Structure 1
Amino acid sequence: MNFGWIVRSFVYMGCLLLLTSCWNSRELNNLGIVSGMGVDKVPDKEEYQVTFQVVIPSSTATSAGASTGKPTITIYSAKDRTIFGAFRKTSKIAARQLFFAHTQLFVIGESTAKSGIEGIFDIFERSHELRLNTEVIVARDTDAISILKLLQPIENLPAVGIVKKSKNTARIWGESRDINVFELVNGMGGEGEVVISGAKIIGNPEDGAKKSGMEQTIVKALVTMSGIGVFKNGILQGWLDDSVARGALWVQNEINETSINVDSRDIKDSIAVNINQSKTKIKIELHDKQAILHVDVVEEGGINEAQSYIDMSKKEEIENLEVELAQETKREIIQALQAAQEMKCDIFNFANELKRTNPKAWDLVKDDWESVFAKAELDVSVKAYIRSIGMRLNPQLFKKK
C-alpha cells in the first residue's frame, strides 16, 4: 500500500496553516504614529527624558483640523536610564502603542549634547522599529521637548515642517548641515569629528505650543535653523555661525547652492552672486609632524542682482567680480579652518584622508593628532567663475558717472 500521498497531504496542510495570517500584525487604529522624538538629559541623574511627538489622526486632515480646533499632534514624555525603557514606559500614559516607521525628526537637547551623544544612537542600530534615515538636529539654548511642542505654520505636522526647513536651509543657503542618523553614526566611527545643525526658538515657547498662536499672520513663536554644533568625542564643543558655518561646509564639500554679496568698484556688498555649483577637494601633507592642509575649491554661479553700476559687457569687469567672489569664499573657509583649529576638532576629515593616503605617516601622528591639526598650515585655493549675468548687461536704475 502506497502511503506517500497521505504523508505529502499532511505536509501540505501543515504549510497552509502557517500561511493563513500575519502572526505579528498590528491594527492601524491601535498604533500611535510618532512623527518626531527627542532626548534630554535629566539634571543630576543618569537618566534621559525621551519625548515623542504623536500624530492625532482625526485632526490631520485639513477639514477636520479646521472644524475640531484641535492641534494635529500631542506630546508624550517619559524618563528612564535607557531610551528603550522610556519607549516602554510611555505605555502608561499613551492609549496606543508607539509606532516609529514614519518618524521624520530626532532632536538632541543641548543638555544631552553637552554630556555626550555617543550612547543615544545605539538603539537605532539594534531596534528594527527605528529608522536610520531620520533627520538629526540639536536644540540650541533650549531642550528637545520645547522644540517638539511647537506648532509650525503651513505644515500640519511640526516635525515634518522642521525637517523641510533644515533641508531647504542646507540646500539653498549653506549654513546648516542636512544629516541623518546613519551618516552621523558613520561620522562618529571615523577618525574625525562631526557637526550637526542647530535649531533655536524665537519667541515664547508656551505661546507656540498653543493652536491659538497660529491664528495670526505673524506667529508668536517659531523654530529657526541656527548654525552648526561642533562635536568632539560625541560632546558638544561649541557653535559655528553665519559665514563661518558656511566656510566649514564648503571644506566638507556640502555646499549645494548659496548666495554671496561681493563688492563693486564703489559700493560694498552690492552685487549678489548665486553659487549653483561647487566642488571641494582636500589634501594633507606631513613634513616632520608639521601638517599642511590643502583645500581646493572650484565654484560657479551667476549674478542675480546689482545695486550699483557695473558694465557687464566688459570681460575685465566680470573677471574683477570673479576675483572678489574667490576672495570672499577663501576668507570664509580660512575663518572656519581657524575656528576648528582653536577647538582642536578635525571636522573636515583630514585625519581620515591622511590615514587613507599615507598610513605610515598617520601612525606617526595619530596619538597627537589634535595638536598636529591645531598647528597645521593652511593652503586654500579658490577658483570662481561667473557663468551668467541674467537678461540685462547694465543695471537699469544706475547711470555711469
Structure 2
Amino acid sequence: MKRKSLFLLVMTIMMVLLTSCWSKKELTDLSFVSAMGIDKTKDGRYELTFQIINPGNVAGLQGGGGTQSPPVTIYSASGDNLVEASRRASARISRRLYYAHTNLVVIGEKLAREEGINILIDSIDRDPEFRITTSLVIANQSSAADLVKALTPVDKIPANKIMKTLEFTQRKWGENLKVSFQEVMRSLESPGGEALVSGFRLVGNPQQAEKLDNLQQSAPEATLRASGIAVFKNGKLIDWLYNSPARGSVWILDKIQGTDINVDWKEKKEALAYQTVRQKTDVSVKMIKGKPYASVHTRVEGDLGEVEVPVDTRQPAVIKKMEKAAGKEIKKELQTAIKQAQTDKVDIFGFGEALERTRPNQWEKLKSEWDDDVYFPKLDVDVTVEAYIRRTGLRNKSFLSSVKEKQH
C-alpha cells in the first residue's frame, strides 16, 4: 500500500513538473521579423521599420511558381523609445512581432551621427528575444527604412542578402566587416569606446527598390551594396573609411580573410595581382623612457593571380623581388589606415588595450589622455610586412614572355 501511494505521489509530481505548452506560441499568431531599421524623425521620435517574412510567398518565389507577391511585408511605427514604437506597431499588425529570428538591425546614418547608438544597443540587449549574434549595419547615405524596404534579387529575403554580401566581401576583398551586436558592445565597452561597423547603402531610386517589378529585370534599377566602414567613438559615428584606410584597418585588426593587392613592376603601374591566401597580424606596444611605441607585424602568404608584363617566375630572384614589392604595397595601406585613425583620434586598433595588458601601471597614467593630442595621435608605429608567393598558377613562364620571344 505504501509502495502504491509513493508511486502515485511520484506520478503526481512528474505531471506537475513536466506540464508542457504553458508558454506555447502558435505560428499563425507570430510575425517573424527578419530585419529592423531604426531612424529618427524630424520631431525627435524613433521610427522603426519592420521587415516581416511572408513564408508562403518566399516558398513560391524560390520554387519558380506560385504567387507573385513580395517575399516580405514592411510595417513602420514611431514612438518616444524603441519599446513604445514596437508596441504601437500592434495597431497595424494582426500578429505579435517575434524577434528571435531577426538577423539584421539597420541604423540610420543621421541617428548614429547625432545621437549615437549606445541607448539603442542597451534597449535591444534587454529584450530576451533578440540575439546578441544579430548583425548590425549603418545606412550610408540612405535611411535605415530605405534599406529595409528594398527588395533584392537572388536572395529573396533582403536581410539575408545584406548579411551574405558582408560575409562574401570580407572574405574576398576586405574593405568591410560583418559584426554582431556582441562584438560592437565589446568594442564600445573598451577603454576608448571605439568601434567599427560596416555600412550599406541603396543605389538607385528608393521607390523603385520597393517594387516587385524591380526584381523582374536582368539589371535591377535599384540595388543594395556594401559601402564603407563607420567609425564610432563613445557611441557616435564620427567618420567613414573607404578603400585603403578601410582595408588597412581590417588588416591591422587581423580580420582580413582574403584580398588582392595590385603591385607595380618596373615601369608599369599595377602590373601584378597578388592574391592573399592567409595572413597573421600581431600588434604590440611597449614603453621606452616613459614613451609608448607600437609595432604592427604582418605575415602574408598568397598566389600570383595575374601578370600584365613579360616575366619569368621560374627564377627565385624574380619571386623574391615580387614578394618585396607586394610587402611594400601592403605596408603603405597599413600606414594609411594608421594615419587616418590618428587624424580622427580614435584608437580602433586596440593599441591602448595592448599596452594595458602588458603594462597596466603605465596605462593607468596614460589612459585619460590617450586619445588626445598627447599620446595616440602622435604614437610612433613601426610597420613590418613579410609577403610570400606560394604559387604562380598553372604557368611558370609568362605567356607574354613567350610571345615577346617569338616576336624577336
Specify the TM-score bucket, using the shorter chain as the normaliser: over 0.9
Match of 2:119 in 1: 119
For 1:385 and 1:10, how far apart are their aligned partners in 2? Answer: 73
For 2:313 and 2:2, how far apart are their aligned partners in 1? Answer: 94
Alignment of 1:33-48 (within 5 A): 33-45=32-44, 47-48=45-46
For structure 1, the 5+ residue unaligned runs are none
Match of 1:345 in 2: 346
Match of 1:19 in 2: 18
Tell me how far 1:3 sits from its aligned partner: 7.0
Decide which of 399, 404, 407 is 1:399's aligned counterpart: 404
SS class of match (1:308): coil
Match of 1:53 in 2: 51
Tell me how far 1:266 sits from its aligned partner: 3.0
Decide which of 376, 379, 387 is 2:379's aligned counterpart: 376
For 1:68 and 1:198, how far apart are their aligned partners in 2? Answer: 33
**1:339-366 residue CA offsets vs partner (Å, 9 max, x unmatched):** 0000000000111111111011101111
User: Please, which moves more after superposition, 232-241 or 111-120?
Assistant: 111-120
**1:35 partner amino acid:** S
Alignment of 1:128-277 (within 5 A): 128-192=128-192, 193-277=194-278
Q: CA RMSD in A?
A: 1.8
Match of 2:96 in 1: 97
Match of 1:87 in 2: 86
SS class of match (1:399): helix
Match of 2:30 in 1: 31
For 1:184 and 1:235, how far apart are their aligned partners in 2? Answer: 12
SS class of match (1:61): helix
**1:307 partner amino acid:** E
Asked if 1 retains the 8 angstrom alpha-carbon contact of 2:60 and 2:67, the reply is no
**1:278-302 residue CA offsets vs partner (Å, 9 max, x unmatched):** 1000111234553322111100100
Asked if 2 retains the 8 angstrom alpha-carbon contact of 1:65 and 1:72, the reply is no
**1:145-179 residue CA offsets vs partner (Å, 9 max, x unmatched):** 10011111101101001100011111111000111
Asked if 1 retains the 8 angstrom alpha-carbon contact of 2:230 and 2:237, the reply is yes
**1:148 partner amino acid:** V
The alignment status of 1:68 with 2:71, answered yes or no, reads no
For 1:224 and 1:28, how far apart are their aligned partners in 2? Answer: 33
For 2:277 and 2:123, how far apart are their aligned partners in 1? Answer: 38
TM-score by length of 1: 0.95
For 2:15 and 2:364, how far apart are their aligned partners in 1? Answer: 61
Asked if 2 retains the 8 angstrom alpha-carbon contact of 1:272 and 1:303, the reply is yes
Tell me how far 1:102 sits from its aligned partner: 1.5
**1:256-307 residue CA offsets vs partner (Å, 9 max, x unmatched):** 1111111122311011111011100011123455332211110010001111
Match of 2:367 in 1: 366
Identity of aligned residues (%): 35
For 1:12 and 1:126, how far apart are their aligned partners in 2? Answer: 38
For 1:306 and 1:261, how far apart are their aligned partners in 2? Answer: 10
For 2:354 and 2:196, how far apart are their aligned partners in 1? Answer: 18
For 1:285 and 1:41, how far apart are their aligned partners in 2? Answer: 44
For 2:274 and 2:148, how far apart are their aligned partners in 1? Answer: 36
SS class of match (2:8): helix
Asked if 1 retains the 8 angstrom alpha-carbon contact of 2:175 and 2:229, the reply is yes
**1:112 partner amino acid:** L
User: Please, which moves more after superposition, 273-282 or 89-98?
Assistant: 89-98
Tell me how far 1:17 sits from its aligned partner: 4.3
* Residue correspondences, number: 399
For 1:141 and 1:332, how far apart are their aligned partners in 2? Answer: 25
For 1:287 and 1:18, how far apart are their aligned partners in 2? Answer: 65
SS class of match (2:22): coil
SS class of match (1:119): helix
For 1:133 and 1:244, how far apart are their aligned partners in 2? Answer: 26
Tell me how far 1:65 sits from its aligned partner: 7.2
Tell me how far 1:85 sits from its aligned partner: 2.3
For 2:187 and 2:51, how far apart are their aligned partners in 1? Answer: 27
Tell me how far 1:15 sits from its aligned partner: 3.7
For 2:264 and 2:12, how far apart are their aligned partners in 1? Answer: 81
Tell me how far 1:14 sits from its aligned partner: 5.0
For 1:287 and 1:339, how far apart are their aligned partners in 2? Answer: 24
**1:242-268 residue CA offsets vs partner (Å, 9 max, x unmatched):** 111000111111101111111122311
Alignment of 1:293-312 (within 5 A): 293-312=294-313
Asked if 2 retains the 8 angstrom alpha-carbon contact of 1:59 and 1:65, the reply is no
Tell me how far 1:30 sits from its aligned partner: 1.3
Asked if 2 retains the 8 angstrom alpha-carbon contact of 1:48 and 1:80, the reply is yes
Asked if 2 retains the 8 angstrom alpha-carbon contact of 1:303 and 1:386, the reply is yes
For 1:283 and 1:14, how far apart are their aligned partners in 2? Answer: 60
For 2:376 and 2:297, how far apart are their aligned partners in 1? Answer: 18
Match of 2:108 in 1: 109
User: Please, which moves more after superposition, 193-202 or 78-87?
Assistant: 78-87
SS class of match (2:57): helix
Asked if 2 retains the 8 angstrom alpha-carbon contact of 1:65 and 1:71, the reply is no
For 2:286 and 2:17, how far apart are their aligned partners in 1? Answer: 63
For 1:357 and 1:290, how far apart are their aligned partners in 2? Answer: 14
Asked if 2 retains the 8 angstrom alpha-carbon contact of 1:139 and 1:147, the reply is yes
